[in-house]
Copies of this chain bind each other. A is one copy, B any other.
Amino acid sequence: MTQKIRFYFDFSSPYGYLATVRIDELARRHGRVVDWRPHLLGVAMKATGQSPLLNQPLRGAYAKRDLARMAQDFGVALVQPEVFPIHSVAASRAFYALKDDVEEQAVRLARQLFHAYWGEGRDISRPGDIAREADAIGMNGAVLIERMALLETRQRLRDEVDDAMQRGIFGSPMFDLDGELFWGCDKFDQMDRWLSAGGW
C-alpha cells in the first residue's frame, strides 16, 4: 500500500503557506495522498533553542527576500501581515476538530486560514477569526468554535504536537515520505526525485 505524505506545518509560518501551493501537485504526480498535520513551532523552538526566523539578525532579512522570490516562483501572492507573529493554537484546534470526521473540510479550512493570513493579512489567531473564515467558505463557524473548545479537541492538539516532536519535527514545512523527513519549501525538487527513484 502506498503511504501518505505527512505534511507538517504551522499556520503562522509563511513557508508553510507556500508549501500548500505545491504539495498537492507533488502528491498527485506520485499517486500519493497528503496527510495534513499542523503542529506548533513555538513548542518545537523550545526544544531546538530557536527563535522566530523572521526576527533573527541577518537571517530575518534574508528570509523576507527569499519568501518574496519563492512566492513569485510558486505563483502566489504573499503579504506581511500587520499582526505578526501570531499564536496558531486556535487554527490548529479548528483543524483537528474536523480532521477525523470530515478531513476534506479540515483541509479546505486550512487553505482558507493560510490564505486569509498570508495571502490577505487577516488575523487568524482568535476563535472569532477562525469562525469568520469558516463562515466565508460555507462552514458553520459557531459550531466549529464549540468543537474547538472541547477538552477532547484541546487534548488532540497536545497529542499531535507531542507525536510530531517524537518524530523529530521541528520546522514548517516538514514532510515525512515513508519515514524520511524533508525540511523546507526548497525540498520540492529533491522530493520529486526521491519519490521517482523510490529512494536512492
Q: Residues of A with Cβ closer than 8 Å to B?
A: 44, 47-51, 56-59, 61-62, 65-66, 69-70, 72-73, 165, 168-170, 180-184, 186-187, 189-190, 193-194, 200
The A contact surface, by secondary structure, is helix
Sample 30 A-B pairs with CB under 8 A, ordered by A number: A44-B58, A47-B57, A48-B56, A48-B57, A48-B59, A49-B57, A50-B59, A58-B165, A58-B169, A58-B170, A59-B170, A62-B168, A62-B170, A62-B181, A62-B183, A65-B180, A66-B183, A69-B180, A69-B190, A69-B194, A69-B200, A70-B190, A72-B200, A73-B190, A73-B193, A73-B200, A184-B186, A186-B186, A186-B187, A189-B189
In the assembly, how many copies of this chain are there?
2
Which residues of B lie under 8 Å from residue A57 when comparing CB positions? 47-49
Report yes or no: A48 in contact with B58, Cβ–Cβ below 8 A.
yes
Which residues of B lie under 8 Å from residue A50 when comparing CB positions? 59
Most buried by B among A44, A59, A194: A59
Which residues of B lie under 8 Å from residue A72 when comparing CB positions? 200
- Shortest Cβ distance from A63 into B: residue: B183
- Shortest Cβ distance from A170 into B: residue: B58
In the complex, A50 Cα to B51 Cα: how many Å? Answer: 10
- Shortest Cβ distance from A46 into B: residue: B57
- A174 CB to nearest B CB, Å: 8
Which residues of B lie under 8 Å from residue A165 when comparing CB positions? 58
- A200 CB to nearest B CB, Å: 5
In the complex, A51 Cα to B181 Cα: how many Å? Answer: 22
Going nearest first, the 5 A-B pairs with the smallest beta carbon separation are A186-B186, A189-B189, A58-B170, A48-B58, A72-B200
- Shortest Cβ distance from A182 into B: residue: B66
- Shortest Cβ distance from A61 into B: residue: B168
